[in-house]
Structure 1
Amino acid sequence: MTNTNFLRGMATVNFWADDVAAARDWYAKLFGVEAYFQMPNAEHPAYVEFRIGDYEHEFGIIDRNYAPSAMQPGPGGAIVLWQVDDIHAALERLLAAGATEYDPVTPRGTTGFITASVIDPFGNVLGIMSNPHYVQILAKLTA
């Protein structure tokens, strides 16, 4: 394979909710920023989007009515792991906001990779991670 940049980076992660406005408000409080995009409008959103993190990744919330027909109810599937500065503090913040533990803080080997995940109040799995590679890349890009 000659193209090593086939997957260039995460562009958007989409979560699902039966009540998009409630999910928007919960995440706005958690993130400390308001959604920058809401469709069709703020009163009755079917889709909202936040830009978060060092690279302003897009975090979308979609009305569950638009979920793929094969999607199973409840948490499952792939887990997107978001870099955090302090995994224990981040997990505590999520739990205090009303999330429930899905996977506890777990060291992955002895090289500094640590993961955890929660289920948000809307049934989505939100992963957090301490990732030495992320820190190294960010340091190179911001030097």
Structure 2
Amino acid sequence: MSHNQTLRGFATISYWADNVEEAKKWYTELLGIAPYFERSGPDGQLAYAEFRIGDYQHELGLIDRRYAPTAAMPGPGGAVMFWHVDDIVSTLDKLLSMGAREYEPLIHRGAGFTTASVIDPFGNILGIMYNPHYLEILGSFQTE
């Protein structure tokens, strides 16, 4: 039996925006950091901005909606990617105060797991979660 895992870890999540400059400002305010990488399109307008965030420096990319796959459906999609947060209530309050709309309310799922999700002002689903397993794994890496 192979111990190699096909899916080895979260690499990048892409969020689409009609106005990447505005999305960049919004996410800079939310995250408290500026993107580390930006690229303009052929028209000179910002087409891509990428942030490295969190304990593992995961990538969040903001991409001009003009470059979305042709099969992409308009509006929020069916998948929700959840980011671990230490204080889900204050994070949810901050997102809502910044103009995000509730997608799924705060739900206590048992065993210490709590989730919520919003739709950012650009139409993307942003999931947040308090996840005890995330903290366990993070702690095991920090003690090695």
Which SS does the other structure have where 1:24 is aligned? helix
2:99 maps to 98
Divergent runs of 4+, >4 A: none
**Structure 2 residues not aligned, in runs of 5+:** none
2:50 maps to 49
1:75 maps to 76
- The answer to whether residue 100 in structure 2 is matched with residue 88 in structure 1 is no
CA-CA distance at 1:4 after TM superposition: 4.9
Paired letter, 1:128: I
2:136 maps to 136
Paired letter, 1:66: Y
Alignment coverage as a number of residue pairs: 141
Distance 1:51 1:4 in 2: 26
2:24 maps to 24
CA-CA distance at 1:10 after TM superposition: 0.4
Which SS does the other structure have where 1:46 is aligned? strand
Distance 1:77 1:65 in 2: 20
Moved more, 93-102 or 120-129: 93-102
2:9 maps to 9
Distance 1:141 1:14 in 2: 27
TM-score (normalizing by structure 1): 0.94
Paired letter, 2:6: F
Spell out the pairing of 1:29-40 with structure 2 (5 A cutoff): 29-40=29-40
* RMSD (Å), alpha carbons: 1.3
CA-CA distance at 1:76 after TM superposition: 1.8
Distance 2:32 2:90 in 1: 16
Identity %: 55
Distance 1:97 1:54 in 2: 24
Once the two structures are superposed, residues 5-24 of structure 1 have per-residue CA deviations (whole angstroms, 9 ceiling, x without a partner) of 22111010000000000000
Once the two structures are superposed, residues 115-138 of structure 1 have per-residue CA deviations (whole angstroms, 9 ceiling, x without a partner) of 100000000000000111101001
